[in-house]
Amino acid sequence: MRTIVDLPDPERAQLDALCRQRGLSRAEALRQALRLWLQQQKPKHGQVFGLWRDRPEDSLALQQSLRQEWRER
């Protein structure tokens, strides 16, 4: 898939310089950067474990209330 990205001149110049140094195309450098960024965005287990521990209802009650919402729609 092709995507058009507008880059400010200073960032484009820096990207071009790094690409020349590393022998990469702009497209490949941006693919690598995006891949790395996406990996960093994945939540780590420690960040989400126990996220709902302070909720007033237990898990079964929560499940039932959510299912009730779905039935009402």
Which DSSP category does 43 fall into?
P
- Mean per-residue pLDDT of the chain: 89
pLDDT at site 61: 86
Selected residue with higher pLDDT from 64 and 14: 14
pLDDT tens-digit profile of 39-72? 988 877 777 788 777 877 787 888 888 898 888 7
Return all residues near 15 (Cβ < 8 A) that are at least 6 apart: 7, 26, 29, 30
Return all residues near 57 (Cβ < 8 A) that are at least 6 apart: 65
pLDDT at site 37: 94
